Structure 1
Amino acid sequence: MARKRISVTKESDSGRNLKFHDNVTGVDMTLKQFVKGIESGKYPGHHIRNINGVKTPVSNPDGSKNNNLD
């Protein structure tokens, strides 16, 4: 099984993903940094949704659970 590109390393009490780790580059990111990376095209397997007024990274739907954020 392929290694996930992004792992969630911290969630809020409500379950919102707050911190992320790029398993390929070894970079740790905040929510804001990950959103910027997605918007700049660095993470093509993900997109941004506006959830309750907050830009939120989500995996692109593709039928695979291997690349989901968790």
Structure 2
Amino acid sequence: MPKRIKVTEESESGRNIKFHDNFTGSDMTRSQFVTQIKNGKYENYSVKKINGLDTPVSKPDNTKNNNLG
């Protein structure tokens, strides 16, 4: 089974900035993905403040299928 979320673009500093949902086919910016996580659409992901920006992260568990990559 493919990963649910795939990072499709990174900034020059390595920050993930664009994402693709392999299950629905939708593309999202970092801020759109953050909003969807906060609205409960992606329960295996959470939002952390990193260098002052809300940043999507996968919740730590024993599954690699939900890791961002």
TM-score over 0.5 (shorter chain):
yes
* Preserved CA contact (<8 Å) 2:5 2:22: yes
Q: 2:19 aligns to what SS in structure 1? A: strand
State the distance in 2 between where 1:13 and 1:64 align: 28
Identical positions, percent? 61
Q: Which structure has more RCO (C-alpha within 8 Å, separation ≥ 6)?
A: 2
Unaligned runs of 5+ in 1: none
Give the drift of 1:67.
Answer: 1.6
State the distance in 2 between where 1:15 and 1:66 align: 21
Q: Give every structure 1 segment of 4 or more consecutive aligned residues whose post-TM-superposition deviation is greater than 4 Å.
A: none
Aligned residues, how many?
A: 69
Q: Which residue of 2 aligns with 1:36?
A: 35
State the distance in 1 between where 2:64 and 2:15 align: 18
Q: Which residue of 2 aligns with 1:18?
A: 17
Give the drift of 1:65.
Answer: 2.2
